[in-house]
Structure 1
Amino acid sequence: MSLESHRAACAALTLLVACGPAMADLQVAVGATSESTVALKVEVDRIVPLASLHPRLELRLATGLLLLSSEEEDGNAAWLLSPALRWTFSGERGAFLEAGIGGALFLETRVDSRELSTAFQFEDRLALGLPWASGELSLALTHYSNAGIKRPNDGLETLTLGYRYPL
Structure 2
Amino acid sequence: MDNIDIYRAGILKQWDVKWFETKVGYANGYFELSYNRWENGGDDVNAVALSPVFQYVFHAGGAIWYPYIEAGIGVAYLDDYMINDRDLSSNFLFEDRVGVGVRIKNMDISFRYMHYSNAGLKEPNNGIDILIGTLAWYF
* TM-score calculated relative to the size of structure 1: 0.74
1:62 aligns with 2:13: no
Give structure 2 stretches of 5+ with no counterpart: none
TM-score under structure 2 length normalisation: 0.88
- The answer to which of 80-89 and 133-142 deviates more is 133-142
Asked whether 1:162 is paired with 2:128, we answer: no
Give the corresponding residue for 1:37: 4
What per-residue deviation string (whole Å, max 9, x for no partner) do you get for residues 111-136 of structure 1? 11110000001011001000246310
1:125 aligns with 2:91: no
Higher relative contact order (CA 8 A, sep 6+): 1
What is the identity percentage for the equivalent residue pairs of Structure 1 and Structure 2?
26
Alpha-carbon RMSD? 1.5
Question: Partner amino acid for 1:102?
Answer: G
Shift >3 Å, 4+ stretches: none
Inter-partner Cα distance in structure 2 for 1:134 and 1:60:
16
User: Which structure has the highest strand share of the two?
Assistant: 2
Q: Which runs of 5+ in 1 are unaligned?
A: 1-33
Preserved CA contact (<8 Å) 2:66 2:104: no
- Structure with higher helix content: 1
Other structure's SS at 1:153 match: coil
Q: Quickly say closer, same or farther: Cα 1:132–1:113, change in 2 above 3 A.
A: farther
